[in-house]
Amino acid sequence: MMRTRPLKVALLGCGVVGSEVARIMTTHADDLTARIGAPVELAGVAVRRPDRVREGIAPELVTTDATALVKRGDIDVVVEVIGGIEPARTLITTAFEHGASVVSANKALLAQDGAALHAVAEQHGRDLYYEAAVAGAIPLIRPLRESLAGDKINRVMGIVNGTTNFILDAMDSTGAGYQEALDEATALGYAEADPTADVEGFDAAAKAAILAGIAFHTRVRLDDVYREGMTEVTAADFASAKEMGCTIKLLAICERAGDGASVTARVHPAMIPLSHPLASVRGAYNAVFVESDAAGQLMFYGPGAGGSPTASAVLGDLVAVCRNRIGGATGPGESAYAALPVSPMGDVVTRYHISLDVADKPGVLAQVATVFAEHGVSIDTVRQSGKDGEASLVVVTHRASDAALTGTVEALRKLDTVRGVASIMRVEGE
């Protein structure tokens, strides 16, 4: 039987994503009613600038008092798309305390305080859904949290930031340098005026924390994620990658240790073979590769940002939360029963591509090889070229720990025959 009393929705934020959420709620109202089993009504929209014209939103719904809106008591669901830590954290907590469930797209807040927010939601018997916080429109959170709930996930590796993928893809396909590719991304609207959060890996690190927590049933905070940006990636790095049959991507990698006793979460540029599915992800698209015991290898691909894609994920959560509300139930909450330790980056084992500037004279290769051997790092391949007393030495290792590689590089810098370390890049996705 169709419920006639509408479910009331409060919208916090009405920018690119929020305005699209409001539009879809209005234009697809009949479909949403049929799917939910009750009408949904936009009961209020909290904004910072009330005088701005918002097409399709009745002026009487607009308010600058977000706190009063979430305290109303008749609100069933609060949709939070304002971002940042405060006032979003306080508003979400207040919404739970006054009887509303919450749909959020706030990756930074969830990565920092997800456990506390889940605890408040559980205390008040309400839902906290956040599909839109990671990878835009790509269904990812719900498959990890529900579809794969009976499986053991071992690794989640992906491209979760469209801006950085656009820049690296442009560098790969055109031979452009980093700044030139960034300028193009900015001109096309893919990069913010201040791109720091994207290019330095902060955005991807927040998403990695969320993914690792869900995948491994362990609390992983933003501070637990190793982060390295991609501003130092050069055209020369891409040339080296092509010689190896690879390309370069900024990857978020969350993985379970071989013995299953710990997990790691990291974000950094890496070379990946052209044969790997992630290598073919172009432009501003996102893709996440999941490896589990029973399901094997899965890849989720699609647009990772933008008003419409992100709003699609928000509306999907809204439908699920409203259905739960009608049924008097709640969906999955936090699952952190495993409580695995998060290992430091020094424990991570992978392959490395190291480019050295060295003196072009006999014995240099032997010296370098000795340093690698002394630190327990096995060499896979070596390529040397040079003239006029200067040379380039490219070393690709077998799998080694980050700590061992760091010690190796420190020792290499002390050799008189090593002029400098041109670049160090991890090699993933084998």
Residues acting as catalytic residues: 207
- What does the angle CA 394 – CA 408 – CA 365 come to, to the nearest 5 degrees? 40
The DSSP string of 281-315 is --TTEEEEEEEETTTEEEEEEEE-SSHHHHHHHHH
Residue type for 234, please? T
The CA distance from 372 to 41, in Å, is 65
Token pair listed for 229: 């940006």
The CA distance from 196 to 368, in Å, is 36
Asked if residue 275 lies in contact with residue 237, where contact means CB atoms within 8 angstroms, the answer is no
Asked if residue 349 lies in contact with residue 399, where contact means CB atoms within 8 angstroms, the answer is yes
Asked if residue 377 lies in contact with residue 349, where contact means CB atoms within 8 angstroms, the answer is no
Asked if residue 331 lies in contact with residue 318, where contact means CB atoms within 8 angstroms, the answer is no
Asked if residue 32 lies in contact with residue 40, where contact means CB atoms within 8 angstroms, the answer is yes
Asked if residue 387 lies in contact with residue 351, where contact means CB atoms within 8 angstroms, the answer is no
Of residues 326, 334, 356, the one with CA closest to residue 419: 356
Phi and psi dihedrals of 426, rounded to 5?
-75, 155
The DSSP string of 166-181 is HHHHHHHHH---HHHH
